[in-house]
Structure 1
């Protein structure tokens, strides 16, 4: 039986407090991170949640936050429907090695060297390897970050096929007239897909002296006081449309706004559910985190989608099958082909198509998300790899990213026996 505290116990505690041996919390108060407080208006979001969002990318907690976004944000469900499409499997040991910076490593070493939460490898349409680490499991929902851009591109392909978008060469402000005052006027939908809009939005997150992207991150996502695409209304121009490739999340936010506008009174989550997630035979519901104030915010189409690993693998397998899966042509085959080829000259190790990264001088391509999220597809070897990671932020020489692609290349060439 547990004994009740005695009067003497309470007297002892009071004595300790009176002589300062136990800290007092009488004057304690949760305070907002100063860099957040100095940007934009006050927020109705609790200070504790704002602070948690501010730190969600930090290297000591992202192993958890990247799979807990529904505890940090208002979300909107992307519903699955019916029986899941069964992914065939034929488990194999990853009995190959890979080279990185002059040294040879095993796949087991790769997992921790590149901060892996979960990884899945498919060969010829079958799962040959699936592994969940750090207490994750098959129903864990992982933040896709900018892999979301690639999914948004698939939905643009659907809207074009359905005639909701007349032509990729249309001025995007024909559909979004509220953007005519800014630099998006005269920019084609194709140029936005290719990240060649020319608008002045440097994807830089130096929060000590925040520019437009850093301020937008704080106001739209951390504080929820504006919508992410709002800055597109009066944004300035840096380059002529189509002239320069410059990666920027605002372009994909505008594509999300376009999809919402042409979807016939729906929203992005509902359109994605009916055009992609349901026909794909997804095993689990997905969800978007929402930008802006509750009730008027919208799906963060530039980086806010969350899903289970096998469902990301279903997307990859559909891409490998030229848009077909579960007995259905889900995405037009022509769109798969067009969106996964480089839009400009192949100058780097990876280049860019319609919101998909292409591996230069190969048929391989990948959806890539912040701090190590990948859906890698190599049609030449019928390989799909999903890797969900927690890379440390500000990896200046991108070692984990480069090592991941070294592994992908080796895994793609590997032929299990």
Structure 2
């Protein structure tokens, strides 16, 4: 076919339509976010693309940088073959099996302060900055500990409305900072993301993160109370968003700036981190419940700092008392559910009641710390949405790695 004939043929074809929003996104206030970007955010969790989107969040969202500065904290190496094996579902598997079976993008294993294994997959590398999802909650806990040590927060047993009077008269009125840290605020916010039939949590995700027509923490102003504060554990990202709002208020600066000042710079991070924002520049707030991004090794530095009682890079970054307090169980782990994170502390999960704890993020993100064996493991994953089996298998692997002695 000649070029002219091809052009004529193309001319009689109907023009391809611009993407249109699914009904659940079209519902509600109009958004200034381009349609194509909204749709990309809508699909970012999908199992066929999340190995890429989970390390490309700065392409999908407005972000705020958490700057590193100074000489990075050098992590010594003692590289060794990852010849650990583990049992799951009655079968024995190798570490290579584990990487494949549990959708691993990157894995870091540290023993007694030394890197013994560092693995990148699927075209990721040491410069890739991965979203931590709810591992961010553990970062927010560290910031609360810093604000408490500085006297910006007088007591964990203060009512949250002492600092955020905007919450008076709502479900959070009467809840203490401690109860919110423990996910025991009692507010009526079910962490359920049925996007086809969105409830309060899914609607908040859509409006704040996909469409940028609301600030995520503002749902705390109107949420109702379901339980007496302190009486019932119920995991909810809104609690951590309130803690981020608290940090913003008591520090007098942004969450990103406070993270850089109190954690990222003294930690000796080697690269900038960043938060995704729930709005455009000048209007958005850092998504302090699930929006922090960093490199594999910098997540490892967080884990090693926790293992070393809050010390990193030759200095005390987070008070040792806060490390102990924030990782002490407020909800013991359920031993009848092996491998799954069922116990809770203050924004840290417990896989069992052995003293080990972990930051855990959506679809397979882990910073695991075991003080008994002085082991830190960071696993960055791309689990399919709604599949819990890889989480249980990861729990089996983490226990095996803790007991493993590199040769």
1:358 deviates by 1.5
Once the two structures are superposed, what CA deviation does each residue of 1:295-326 show, in whole Å capped at 9, x if it has no partner? 11110000000000000000000000000011
Q: Distance in 1 between matches of 2:331 and 2:105?
A: 34
Deviation at 1:14? 4.0
Aligned partners of 2:3, 2:101: CA distance in 1, in Å?
52
Q: Which one has the largest radius of gyration?
A: 1
Distance 2:54 2:402 in 1: 26
Aligned to 1:35: 24
After superposition, the Cα gap between the structure-2 partners of 1:324 and 1:9, relative to the gap in structure 1 and judged at 3 Å, is: same
Q: Secondary structure at the match of 2:395?
A: helix
Partner residue, 1:11: 4
Q: 5 Å matches for 1:10-409? A: 10-17=3-10, 24-26=13-15, 28-38=17-27, 40-263=28-251, 265-348=252-335, 349=337, 350-395=342-387, 398-409=388-399
Residues 1:414 and 2:384 are matched in the alignment: no
Separation in structure 2 between the aligned mates of residue 25 and residue 274 of structure 1, nearest angstrom:
56
Post-superposition shift, 1:170?
A: 0.3
For these two proteins, the number of residue pairs brought into alignment is 402
Over the aligned positions, Cα root-mean-square deviation in angstroms equals: 1.2
CA contact (8 A) 2:62 2:280 kept: no
* Counterpart contact for 1:260–1:268, Cα < 8 Å: yes
Q: 1:256-296 CA deviation, whole Å, 9 max, x = no partner?
A: 00000000x21100001010000000000000000134311
Return 5+ residue gaps in structure 1 as ranges.
1-7
Secondary structure of 2:2's aligned partner: helix
- Is contact 2:167–2:220 with CA below 8 Å preserved after alignment? yes
Distance 1:225 1:134 in 2: 34
Q: Aligned partners of 1:11, 1:84: CA distance in 2, in Å?
A: 61
Distance 1:335 1:15 in 2: 71
The question of whether the paired residues in 1 share the 8 Å contact of 2:64 and 2:275 is answered with yes
Any conservation in 2 of the 1:226–1:293 contact (CA below 8 Å)?
no
1:305-353 deviation per Cα after TM superposition (whole angstroms, max 9, x unaligned): 0000000000000000000011111001011011111103443553000
Superposed CA deviations along residues 354-395 of structure 1, whole A, max 9, x for unmatched, are: 000023220100000000000000000000000000000011
TM-score, normalising length from structure 2?
0.97
Q: Is the 8 A contact 1:341 1:358 kept in 2?
A: no
* Structure 1 residue matching 2:378: 3-state secondary structure: strand
**Matched residues in 2 for 1:75 and 1:14: separation?**
42
